[in-house]
Amino acid sequence: MQNEKLEQELLDLSKEKWRLMSDCKVDMLEELFHEKAVFVHMGGTMSKDHELEVIRSGGIHYKKAEIHDASVRFFGSETAIVLNRITLLAVVGGNEVTNPFEVTEVYVQENGKWQIAALSFTKLITH
């Protein structure tokens, strides 16, 4: 029962992350992203500060993430992976694009608070 509650907490946190990214709430994302977090996109890897600056400046605007499937896997009591299969509508470099992704989110818990340690986008090939 406790595991189901934690699972739902992380799924809710992941959904909230997509909303914060869509709304460009950089101040709230700064708290959610771990200081040492890494972000892997199709175009490269970014630090927390770089990711936040890209969102702040509008370099990438995560307009809408349509979540098709989400799951959580725990590794001990302080690490979890949330997998999201999504269709992402974003504006990248002024161009609106839609892509299917499997997004891997690694969460770590420190001082009773979950934070994102890694966020990785893998583009899915559709037929």
CB contact set of 43 (below 8 Å; sequence gap of 6+): none
Compute the mean pLDDT over every residue in the chain, rounded to the nearest whole number: 94
pLDDT digits (tens, 9 = 90+) for 76-113: 989 999 999 999 999 988 899 999 999 999 999 999 99
Residue 115: what pLDDT?
98
Q: How confident is the model at residue 1 (pLDDT cuts 50, 70, 90)?
A: low
DSSP helix/strand/coil, 124? coil
CATH of the domain at 55: 3.10.450.50
- Chain length of the chain: 127
The whole-angstrom separation of Cα 8 and Cα 111 is 19
The total number of structural domains in the chain stands at 1
**b/e map 23-43, b = 16+ CB within 10 Å:** eebbeebeebbbeebbbebee
What is the domain extent for residue 89? 2-123
pTM of the predicted protein model: 0.93
Q: How confident is the model at residue 2 (pLDDT cuts 50, 70, 90)?
A: low
